[in-house]
Structure 1
Amino acid sequence: MSLAPPETWPGADGNPISCREKVKVLAENHVELAQVMRDAFEDAVLMGVDEAALRRLLTSMVEALPSPKRKPGA
C-alpha cells in the first residue's frame, strides 16, 4: 500500500471524481490522514503494541465509521 494519494478517486457512480477542487481536498485529506496514521502506528509499535493487532484495530476503526449518507438512527 502506498501512502501517496491515489491518482483517481472513484465516484459513487463508478466514474472518477473530476472536479479539481474536490480532488485537491481529497488529496490534502489523504496526506494529513496518512501522516497521523503513520505517527500513531509508529508510536504504538515502538511502545510495544503488536503490529498485526494494531493493523486489525485500525482496520476495524475504518470499518466502524458511520456513513454520512445514512440518517441518524437509521
Structure 2
Amino acid sequence: MSGLAPPAIWPGTDGAPLSCREKLKVLAENHVEAAQVLRDAFEDAVLMGVDEAAMRRILTEMVAALPSPKRA
C-alpha cells in the first residue's frame, strides 16, 4: 500500500540522513508496526461507520499531539 512504505531517508536533527544500520533497522521495524496498527484502527473505524475523512483527521491529530521525548 503506497504511503505506508518507510521513508527512503530518515533525517537526523542536523538534516543529514541517519546511517547507523542498527538505528535504521529499528526505525524500519517501528514503521511497519505503526503502519499496521494505524491501518487496523482506520479500517475498524470506517467499517463501524466512522467517516473516512474524520478518522484520518483524528489519527493525524493524535500524531500531532504526541509529546516530544526530549521535553523534560
Q: Normalization by structure 1: what TM-score?
A: 0.92
Shift of 1:61: 0.4
In structure 2, the residue corresponding to 1:10 is in which secondary structure? coil
In structure 1, the residue corresponding to 2:29 is in which secondary structure? helix
State the percentage of identical aligned residues: 79
> What CA distance in whole angstroms lies between the structure 2 residues aligned with 1:39 and 1:58?
12
Shift of 1:64: 0.5
1:23-64 C-alpha deviation (Å, 9 max, x unpaired)? 000000000000110011001000000110111110110111
Structure 1: 5+ residue stretches without partners: none
> What CA distance in whole angstroms lies between the structure 1 residues aligned with 2:3 and 2:59?
16
* Count of aligned residue pairs for this structure pair: 71
For 1:11, the equivalent position in structure 2 comes to 12
Runs of 4+ in 1 over 6 A off after TM superposition: none
State the superposition RMSD in angstroms. Answer: 0.8
For 1:21, the equivalent position in structure 2 comes to 22
For 1:47, the equivalent position in structure 2 comes to 48
Shift of 1:2: 1.4
> What CA distance in whole angstroms lies between the structure 1 residues aligned with 2:16 and 2:31?
19
Q: Normalization by structure 2: what TM-score?
A: 0.95
